[in-house]
Amino acid sequence: MACTSTPVPCEIPEVVECRGERFRLFLDAATLQQRIAELGRQISQDYEGKRPILIGVLNGAFMFLADLMRYITIDCEVDFLKLSSYGAEKVSSGQVYELKKIDADIRGRHVLIVEDIVDTGLSMQFILERLKEYEPASVATVTLLHKVEATQVDVPLDYVGFRIPNKFVIGYGLDYGQLARNLASIYILDDNP
Ligand SMILES: O=P(O)(O)OC[C@H]1O[C@H](OP(=O)(O)OP(=O)(O)O)[C@H](O)[C@@H]1O
Ligand SMILES: Nc1nc2[nH]cnc2c(=O)[nH]1
ipTM above 0.85, yes or no: yes
Amino acid at 152: Q
Q: What is the average pLDDT across 109-124?
A: 97
CATH for 25-84+99-178, among 3.40.50.2020, 3.90.580.10, 3.40.50.1260, 3.30.360.10?
3.40.50.2020
| Mutation to probe ligand 2, out of 27, 117, 153, 155 (largest number of atoms < 8 A from CB) | 117
Domain residue spans of the chain: 25-84+99-178
| Å from CA of 117 to ligand 1 middle | 7
Which parts of the chain are beta strand (E)? 15-18, 21-27, 53-58, 77-84, 97-100, 110-118, 138-147, 159-164, 169-170, 186-189
> pLDDT of 127-177, one tens digit each?
999 999 999 999 999 999 999 999 999 999 999 999 999 999 999 999 999
| Ligand 2 near 122 CB (within 6 A) | no
Least confident interval from 19-23, 85-89, 111-115, 116-120: 85-89
Q: Is 119 a catalytic residue?
A: yes
Catalytic residue among 67, 116, 119, 175: 119
Strand order of the β-sheet with 110-118 is: 97-100, 77-84, 53-58, 110-118, 138-147, 159-164
| Ligand 2 near 119 CB (within 6 A) | yes
Question: In ligand 2, which atom is closest to the CA atom of 167?
Answer: 10
